[in-house]
Structure 1
Amino acid sequence: MSRSSHPSSTDADRPRAVLVGVQLQGVSDDELQSSLDELERLVETLGLQSVGRVTQKRQGLGSANLLGEGKLKILAGYTGGQGFVAPFVAPGTQDETAEESLEDLEESHFEEGDEVSPAGTVIVDHDLSPTQLRNLEKVTGVEVLDRSMVILSIFQRHARTREAKLQVEIARLVYMAPRLRETHAGAERQRGGIGGKGAGESALELGRRATRDRIAELRRALVGVQREAETQRSRRNTNEIQAVALIGYTNAGKSRLMRGLTNKEMYVANQLFATLDTTVRVLVPETRPRILISDTVGFIKDLPHDLVASFRSTLAEAEEANLHLHVIDASDPMMRDQYEVTRQVLAEIGADEHPRLLILNKCDLLQKDQQQALASEFPEAVQMAATRPEDIVRLHGLIRDFFEKSMEEATFIIPYDQQAKVGLLHKRCRVIDELYKDDGAHVRILAPSGVIEGLGQEIAIPPNPG
Structure 2
Amino acid sequence: MTTTQQERPLAVLVGVQLPGVDDVEHAADLAELGRLVHTLGFDVIATVSQRRSALAAAAVLGEGKLKELAELTGGSGVVPSGAPERKNKARARRAAEGGEGDDDGELGGDDVDDAEGEDGGGAAPDVGGREARRATVVAVDHDISPSQARNLERATGAQVLDRAGVIIEIFHRHARSREAKLEVEIARLNYVAPRLRETGGGGDRQRGGIGGKGAGESALELDRRKIRDRIAELKQELSGVQREQSTRRALRQGQRRVALVGYTNAGKSSLMRALTGSEVLVADKLFATLDTTVRALHPEVRPRILVSDTVGFIKKLPHDLVASFRSTLDEALEASLLLYVADASDPTFRDQLGVTRSVLSEIGASEVPSRLLLNKVDRLSEEEREALRLEFPEATLLSAKIPADVAALREALIAFFEQSMVEAELLLPYAKQSLIGEIYENARVLSEEYDDAGGRLSVRAHPAALDRLRSLLAR
SS of the residue corresponding to residue 352 of structure 1 reads helix
Q: Deviations over 1:252-284 (max 9, x none)?
A: 000000001111111000000000011111111
Q: Deviations over 1:318-341 (max 9, x none)?
A: 111111011000000000000000
Write the letter of the residue equivalent to 2:444.
Answer: R
Of 370-379 and 242-251, more deviation after overlay is shown by 370-379
Of 442-451 and 59-68, more deviation after overlay is shown by 442-451
Q: Deviations over 1:257-313 (max 9, x none)?
A: 000111111100000000001111111111211111110000000000100101211
Match of 1:92 in 2: none
Distance 1:231 1:150 in 2: 33
Match of 1:351 in 2: 365
The structure-2 alpha-carbon separation of the partners of 1:411 and 1:187, relative to structure 1 and needing over 3 Å to count, comes to: closer
Which of 52, 75, 97 is the equivalent residue of 1:81? 75
The structure-2 alpha-carbon separation of the partners of 1:332 and 1:197, relative to structure 1 and needing over 3 Å to count, comes to: closer
8 Å contact kept, 1:11–1:49: no
Write the letter of the residue equivalent to 1:31.
Answer: E
The structure-2 alpha-carbon separation of the partners of 1:30 and 1:184, relative to structure 1 and needing over 3 Å to count, comes to: closer
Of 432-441 and 152-161, more deviation after overlay is shown by 432-441
Match of 2:223 in 1: 207
Match of 2:151 in 1: 135
Match of 1:223 in 2: 239
Q: Deviations over 1:357-402 (max 9, x none)?
A: 1110001111112111111111111100011111111111111111
Which of 38, 43, 49 is the equivalent residue of 1:49? 43
8 Å contact kept, 2:376–2:399: yes
Identity, % of aligned positions: 56
Write the letter of the residue equivalent to 1:256.
Answer: S
Task: Map 1:370-385; keep pairs closer than 5 Å.
Answer: 370-385=384-399
The structure-2 alpha-carbon separation of the partners of 1:178 and 1:414, relative to structure 1 and needing over 3 Å to count, comes to: closer
Match of 2:299 in 1: 285
Match of 1:331 in 2: 345
Match of 1:170 in 2: 186
How far is 1:184 from its partner? 7.6
The structure-2 alpha-carbon separation of the partners of 1:62 and 1:82, relative to structure 1 and needing over 3 Å to count, comes to: closer
SS of the residue corresponding to residue 246 of structure 1 reads strand
How far is 1:65 from its partner? 1.3
SS of the residue corresponding to residue 202 of structure 1 reads helix
8 Å contact kept, 2:375–2:399: yes
TM-score normalized by the length of structure 1:
0.85
Distance 2:82 2:282 in 1: 51
Match of 1:93 in 2: none
8 Å contact kept, 1:189–1:199: no
Match of 1:40 in 2: 34
Q: Deviations over 1:13-71 (max 9, x none)?
A: 11111111100011111111111111111111111100110000011124211111111
8 Å contact kept, 1:124–1:146: yes
The structure-2 alpha-carbon separation of the partners of 1:88 and 1:247, relative to structure 1 and needing over 3 Å to count, comes to: closer
Write the letter of the residue equivalent to 1:339.
Answer: L
1:410 aligns with 2:424: yes
Match of 1:28 in 2: 22
1:365 aligns with 2:379: yes
8 Å contact kept, 2:68–2:123: no
Task: Map 1:53-452; keep pairs closer than 5 Å.
Answer: 53-87=47-81, 115-181=131-197, 188=204, 190-191=206-207, 195-196=210-211, 199=214, 201-237=217-253, 240-412=254-426, 425-432=439-446, 443-452=457-466
8 Å contact kept, 2:146–2:198: no
8 Å contact kept, 2:447–2:457: yes
SS of the residue corresponding to residue 399 of structure 2 reads coil
How many residues are matched?
435
Write the letter of the residue equivalent to 2:10.
Answer: R
Distance 1:442 1:185 in 2: 75
The structure-2 alpha-carbon separation of the partners of 1:57 and 1:430, relative to structure 1 and needing over 3 Å to count, comes to: same
TM-score normalized by the length of structure 2:
0.84
How far is 1:115 from its partner? 4.3
Q: Deviations over 1:159-214 (max 9, x none)?
A: 01111111101101111111112678895473566x34554743222212221121
8 Å contact kept, 1:412–1:443: yes
8 Å contact kept, 1:168–1:307: yes
Distance 1:305 1:420 in 2: 47
Match of 1:6 in 2: none
8 Å contact kept, 1:126–1:146: yes
Distance 2:264 2:340 in 1: 12
**Structure 1 unaligned spans of 5+:** 1-9, 90-96, 102-107, 462-466
8 Å contact kept, 1:246–1:324: yes
How far is 1:419 from its partner? 8.8
SS of the residue corresponding to residue 366 of structure 2 reads coil
8 Å contact kept, 2:265–2:284: yes
Write the letter of the residue equivalent to 1:311.
Answer: F
Of 32-41 and 435-444, more deviation after overlay is shown by 435-444
SS of the residue corresponding to residue 420 of structure 2 reads coil
8 Å contact kept, 1:137–1:143: yes
Write the letter of the residue equivalent to 2:219.
Answer: A
8 Å contact kept, 1:433–1:444: yes
8 Å contact kept, 1:171–1:306: yes
